[in-house]
Amino acid sequence: MPINRIDLLQLFDIDLSKKRRIPDVRKLLDSKSSSPAYERYEQSFQWLFEAQGMPADSETRTEDPTKLLLSQEVNCPYSLDRFDRFGLVGDRNDPTDQGGVITISQSLRAAMVCIWRRCDSAADPLKIRHSGSADIPQHYLKQLLGIFDYISEGQMMYPFLSLRYSSSDLEQVLSQDGVLLGTLLSGGLDHEPDETMRRYVAENLSLRRYEGLFLRSTSGMGIYTSGTENKEDADVDLYENTLFRAVQVCEVCLLERRLLRSFRTRADSDAKKVRIIPRPLLVEKRREELLVLEDDLINALPFWSPESMRLVRKAQEIFNIPMFLRDAKDSYNFLESRYQNTKTTTLAAVAVAAYVLDKLGVWLAIGHRLRIQ
Residue type, position 96, single letter: T
Would you say residue 37 has pLDDT above 90? Answer: yes
Pairwise CA distance, residues 177 & 197, whole Å? 10
Give the pLDDT confidence score for residue 116 in this predicted structure: 95
How, if at all, do strands 211-215 and 68-70 pair? unpaired
Backbone phi, then psi, for 143, in 5-degree steps? -80, -10
* Phi, psi for residue 305 in degrees, rounded to 5: -150, 160
107-121, 286-300, 353-367: segment of lowest average pLDDT: 353-367
Q: Are residues 103 and 85 in contact, defined by beta-carbon separation less than 8 angstroms?
A: yes
CA-to-CA dists, residue 60 to 70, 74, 251, angstroms: 14, 22, 35
Give the pLDDT confidence score for residue 60 in this predicted structure.
65
Per-residue pLDDT of 55-92, as tens digits, reads 766 666 566 666 667 888 888 999 999 999 999 999 99
Share of the chain above pLDDT 70, in %: 96
pLDDT at 371 exceeding the cut of 80: no
For residue 219, pLDDT beyond 60: yes
**pLDDT tens digits for range 220-267:** 999 999 999 999 999 999 999 999 999 999 999 999 999 999 999 999
Q: Which of 335, 337, 340, 252 minimizes the C-alpha distance to 293?
A: 252
DSSP 56: P
Using CA atoms, how far apart are residues 368 and 362, in angstroms rounded to an integer?
10
| pLDDT (average), residues 212-227 | 94
Q: How many CB atoms are located within 10 Å of the residue 305 CB?
A: 12
Residue 164 · residue 5 · CB < 8 Å: yes
Rg (alpha carbons) of the chain, rounded to whole number: 26
Find out whether 263 and 15 touch, Cβ atoms under 8 Å.
Answer: no
Q: Which long-range contacts link 266-272 to residues 24+ away (Cβ below 8 Å)? A: 266/17, 267/328, 267/331, 267/332, 267/334, 267/335, 268/331, 268/334, 268/335, 270/335, 271/331, 271/334, 271/335, 271/338
Report the pLDDT value the prediction gives residue 59, as an integer from 0 to 100.
Answer: 64
Q: How sure is the predictor about 358, in pLDDT bands with cuts at 50, 70 and 90?
A: confident
Q: How confident is the model at residue 117 (pLDDT cuts 50, 70, 90)?
A: very high
Q: Quick check: 273 and 282 in contact, CB under 8 A? A: yes
pLDDT at 361 > cutoff 90: no
286-344 pLDDT tens trace: 999 999 999 888 998 999 999 999 999 999 999 999 999 999 999 999 999 988 888 88
pLDDT in tens, 154-200: 777 899 999 999 999 999 999 998 899 899 888 887 788 888 888 98
pLDDT at position 373, please? 56
pLDDT at 276: 84
pLDDT of residue 23: 84
